Amino acid sequence: MVLFNILCHADRQKLTMALAHRGSAPMADRLPPDVEVFDYLAQGNYYFGLARRAYHRLRVKQDRAPDNLRLKRIHEQFKPDLWYINAITQPEVLRQARKYGIPCVLHSHELEPMFHYVSVEDLGTLIEYPRLIIACSEAVEQVYRRLGRRGAIEVCYGMIDVSRVKADEARTRALRQELGVSDGAFVWLMSGTLTPNKNPVLFVEILNELLQKGHNTHFIWLGGGESGYSEYAKAKAVDLGVAERIAWMGVRDEDYYDYFNAADGFVLTSKRDSFPLVLIEAAALGKPIVSLDSGGVREFVLNKMGKVVSDSHGGESLVETMERVMMNDMVFDPSVSRERAREFDVSVRARTWERIMSSHFPTNNGSG
């Protein structure tokens, strides 16, 4: 989403950009028409390739050569001044940039657990080679400092289009009825993929504890990523007898914010999270935020917006804080949250990103 917003909202008079992706790029067809799209995953099946080209509105340029040659050909065709590599999960792209001596920027959204998937050799390249590293939070920046990065590292927080955060109040009320939410129930929501790091098992355990304490509450999880682990989380809800009080809604599109708005509060159960964009969405909708101290969340949540719980090793403190919110035993001001969200609107953060880029890559004519 951060990369998508940069591609959509960066100054078109100063920058020319293209997207090169390997395989799936769900939002590529929603990019501005002047952003060229290249798929450098060789397709062995002609009809599959044809369908992908149709899906991307015939804008995707395909090549069946080996990976390194496809990237090089894209580079020679588009002739960029630099490569902008999104996330550390593409070390092979960084290797190619280094091989060909192509300047690059690394935009990192990862905290230390994700480095488990990076080899020691690739880690050295990640730290040393990029001309600039953009970290999505101070928490991420600290990881790179500890790994030995000294210069040319900047923090640029994530962004959303706040104008798109809208909900139909009538639809929201109808959704609560459809979900079987009783009158007076307090609804908590979490949004994220169903992975161990996002912690849906803890989500279930918190619901059980709140119900055991006699609270009238209902939980909603937005996000997919079905696996054996997600099935375990759902099975645990059944085993604890709380399955009827939890709605696993999967990935939503048009009605995403209607479901989000159906909640009275937002709880972030992630073990480690660099700077989740759902925090901005929750604030834009005026929802109190309760979160484990999982990383970048502390850099976003201000006084009167909710609380970041320092105990990240269990759910007890989190439950107590959620109880305080439910019983109105905590000062919360929705206007503070909404104003904070506006600070992370694309209209603000895209300009911050442009200033960072121009300070490290100045051009003579102001374009590039």
Which of 72-81, 123-132, 182-191, 255-264 is predicted with the least confidence, judged by mean pLDDT? 72-81
pLDDT digits over 271-328, tens only?
999 999 999 999 999 999 999 999 999 999 999 999 999 864 555 589 999 999 999 9
Q: Please tell me the pTM assigned to this model.
A: 0.88
pLDDT at 366: 44
| pLDDT band at residue 65 under the 50/70/90 scheme | very low
| Dist. CA 38–CA 74, nearest whole Å | 7
Average pLDDT over residues 25-44: 80
Q: Structural domains in the chain?
A: 2-161+345-360 (3.40.50.2000), 162-342 (3.40.50.2000)
Buried b (16+ CB within 10 A) or exposed e, 26-61: eebeebeeebbbbbbbebeeeeebeebbeebeebbb
Question: Which string of DSSP letters, residue by residue, matches 164-188?
Answer: G----HHHHHHHHHHTTPPTTPEEE
* pLDDT at position 55 over 50: no
How far, in whole angstroms, is CA 352 from its chain's centroid? 18
The pLDDT value recorded for residue 56 is 45
Poorest-pLDDT segment among 14-28, 130-144, 193-207, 342-356: 14-28
For range 330-354, the mean pLDDT: 96
pLDDT of residue 315: 53
